[in-house]
Amino acid sequence: MAGSCRTLIPMLPAQARATPDWQQPWPLLVAILAGLAHTLSFAPTPYGGWLEIATLTWFYTLIAYRRTLCATLVSACAFGFSHFASGVFWLYISMHVYGGMPAIIALTALILFALYLAAWPTLAAALWYFCSATRSDIMAAPPSIHWRSSLAFASAWALSEWLRGVILTGFPWLASGYAQVAGPFAGYAAVIGVYGVGWLLAFNAALIGQMLIAAFKRGKWVLSAPLIIFVTCITGGSAATKVAWTNPAPHAPLTVRLLQGNVQQEIKFEQQGVDMAIALYQELITAQPADLIITPETGIPVLEQDIPESFAYTIRDFADKTGSAIIFGAAGATLTPTGPVDLTNSLFGVTPRSPILYRYDKHHLVPFGEFIPWGFHWFVALMKIPLGDFARGPAIQQPFFVGAQPLALNICYEDIFGEEIARTLRQTPIPAGILVNATNLAWFGDTIALDQHLQIAQMRALETGRPVLRATNTGATAIIGYDGRVEKKLTTFSIGSLEARVQGRVGVTPYITYGNMPVLVVSLLLLAIFAAQRIKMLYIR
């Protein structure tokens, strides 16, 4: 094992030695395997948080060994492409199986989207390459730890993940911090959020990677600093999980019932499916009273104005007689003489003995599914997706009250944007004590999308210190405690009602107060300092 890493080069075939660094096949294969392993770090893999430390260490070590910028970027792109193509392959199911798009077009769309997502880890590698210590410094003898390289990698990684979550309306799915909801860094989520957790993860991965590089090239282990920091971070994360940032609300716990109808996506918006869904949810709602009863997103798959009177009267009468508050999903619209306009994906709340119907309109819409980007109407026309162009609800909407307990509602995709949920809690006069997510993931079939989305909801509970209620069409319908643990869950692809007593919370976590600002400020400041130093060094040369 001793000797310079350059001794690897003579071991390769003569043809490989003559091949430019970025064209050599073996680093690409290693990068692809690392990307696939990174996908396995996320749900439903148990202990994925520990696996993710290994895969990010793998990624850092890989790009640190590349000799040129071009080779570094190619490896990063291969890593990102294999990770995202395998991690969001369920989009193909949505487009082809349920959307009716021709297979070749759906596959092409998935490949192009994975390439776009791969641009973000590639950007992280480019920033790291420019801002970190030079490769000759990292590989130099005697072996040592280069803090600048580790800090630059963590900052570039966190910044690129944040940019992926905001550019072009954002797609923060599979942000690295999500794999840590049951991992060693979970305790930091309430303080620095999912991107801050990703920063810590990348920092430790870089330190471990440098330790491995030093051991490989010199046959010596540089143990002290990396291991001390790694153990300190893990110990701190464990201790942080015991900090109660929020407290039980003074109100009594709510009895809740979360409904899962398992309505087949193929018929959901056909008349047969509409009639079946309305009858099914009327039966499930009125089966038993509770303080709060919730249906999934578009559980009633019609416009608000087209809800049958028999359903409306039955639900109102049940609410008044039993004292049950009911939240159901349907499409909203503004009526005009020419017909309904400004369609919205909405949740409606019925309060006992109150004539006022609460309404929440989805704010963060899904591109192509709920709004059509300019120039892509032809693409959406290839899919059989009804109501493909919705109006956007306000960014901040008032909570729904069940007695004295306020609830913050969001619909499906919205709960992957932690900053927006934190902003709602931060800017409402009475912050909600319980988060409610109504969703329909039937578009993605029996895939890892269901487990991944549940993992995202667990991170929202950790960040806000509040329980999360998830009512879904096919799964995973679940009750998540304020500590991020899944307390109860229905079997996926079954019809049922999940019942529990849920205690609201009061107080705010540091993440609610500051959002993503701390990790962004630290990352940008460090990268700016390192970039200025590198530019100065190049200028002097």
Q: Which residue numbers are catalytic?
A: 297, 362, 412
Q: Is the dihedral of CA 470, 472, 478, 484 positive or negative?
A: negative
Give the C-alpha separation, 267 to 317, whole Å.
Answer: 29
Instruction: Scan for tokens 């003074």, then name that residue.
Output: 250
- DSSP H stretches of helix in 14-141: 14-18, 25-40, 48-65, 69-87, 90-92, 103-131, 135-139
For 303, which DSSP code? B
Give the C-alpha separation, 80 to 62, whole Å.
Answer: 13
* CB neighbour burial string for 105-122, b if at least 16 within 10 angstroms, e if fewer: ebeebbeebbebbbbbbb
Burial class (CB in 10 A: 0-12, 13-18, 19+), 205: buried
Collapsing DSSP to helix, strand or coil, 2 comes out as coil
Measured in whole angstroms, the distance separating CA 496 from the mean position of its chain's CA atoms is 26
Q: Are 496 and 260 in contact (CB under 8 A)?
A: yes
412 closest CA partner among 366, 467, 461: 366
One-letter amino acid of 113? F
Measured in whole angstroms, the distance separating CA 443 from the mean position of its chain's CA atoms is 17
3 closest CA partner among 220, 222, 189, 234: 220
132 closest CA partner among 211, 235, 207: 207
Task: Give kind and range of the element (H or E) at residue 318.
Answer: helix 309-322
Measured in whole angstroms, the distance separating CA 201 from the mean position of its chain's CA atoms is 16
Taking CA atoms, 363 is separated from 105, 169, 193, 296, in Å, by: 29, 11, 21, 17
31 closest CA partner among 71, 90, 88: 71
463 closest CA partner among 436, 487, 435: 435
State the helix-helix crossing angle for 48-65 and 147-164, rounded to 10 degrees: 110
- Which pair of structure tokens corresponds to residue 91? 């989009």
534 closest CA partner among 137, 54, 164, 233: 137
Cβ neighbour number for residue 259 with a 10 Å cutoff = 28
Instruction: Report the DSSP beta bridge partners of residue 470.
Output: 437, 478
